[in-house]
Amino acid sequence: MTAAFIRPERFSAEEWEARVQLAACYRIFDHLGWTELIYNHISLRVPGPEGDAGCYLINPFGLHYREVRASNLVKVDREGRIVGNSDWPVNPAGITFHGQIHAQVPDAHCVMHVHTTPTLAVCCQEEGLSFTNFYSAQLWGQVAYHDFEGITVRADEGGRILDSAGDKRVLLLRNHGPVVIGQTLPHALSLMWLVQRACEVQLAAQSMGGALRPIPVPVLERCVADSLNFNPRFGAGADSFAALQRIVDGIDPSYRS
Q: What is the domain range of residue 47?
A: 13-251
- Whether 4 is covered by a domain: the verdict is no
What average pLDDT does range 156-185 have in this prediction?
96
Residue 228 has pLDDT above 80, yes or no: no
Q: Are 8 and 73 in contact (CB under 8 A)?
A: no
Q: Is residue 240 part of a domain?
A: yes
Domain contains 8 = no
199 and 122 in contact (C-beta within 8 Å)? yes
Mean predicted confidence (pLDDT) in 217-230: 90
| 3-class DSSP state of 145 | strand
79 has pLDDT over 90? no
In a domain, 257, yes or no: no
Residue 123 lies in a domain: yes
- The H-assigned helical ranges of the chain are 13-32, 49-52, 92-104, 117-123, 134-137, 155-165, 185-207, 217-226, 238-251
186 pLDDT band (50/70/90 cuts)? Answer: very high
CA distance 40 to 99: 14
Which pLDDT value is given to residue 16? Answer: 97
Q: Which amino acid does the sequence have at 2?
A: T
Rounded to whole angstroms, the Cα distance separating 180 from 114 reads: 9
Q: How far apart are the first and last CA of the chain?
A: 15
Q: For position 54, what pLDDT does the model report?
A: 84
Band the pLDDT of 1: cuts 50, 70, 90. Answer: low
Per-residue pLDDT tens over the stretch 84-99: 889 999 999 888 889 8
Percent of the chain with pLDDT over 90: 80
d(CA 122, CA 115): 11
pLDDT of residue 231: 74
111 inside domain = yes
Q: What are the DSSP calls for 171-237, one per residue?
A: EEETTTEEEEEESSHHHHHHHHHHHHHHHHHHHHHHHT-SPPPP--HHHHHHHHHH-GGG-GGGTTT
Q: What is the mean pLDDT of the chain?
A: 94
Amino acid identity, position 53: A
Comparing C-alpha atoms, which of 91, 88, 90, 111 is closest to residue 100?
Answer: 111
Asked if residue 52 belongs to a domain, the reply is yes
The pLDDT of 16-25, averaged and rounded, is 98
Q: Domain containing 37 — which CATH number?
A: 3.40.225.10
Q: Is residue 65 part of a domain?
A: yes
Number of domain units in the chain: 1
What is d(CA 51, CA 162) in angstroms, rounded to the nearest whole number?
Answer: 18
**pLDDT, tens digit, 9 for 90 and up, residues 98-154:** 989 998 899 999 999 999 999 999 999 999 999 999 999 999 999 999 999 999 988
Instruction: Confirm if 27 and 65 have CB atoms less than 8 A apart.
Output: yes
**pLDDT value, residue 2:** 61
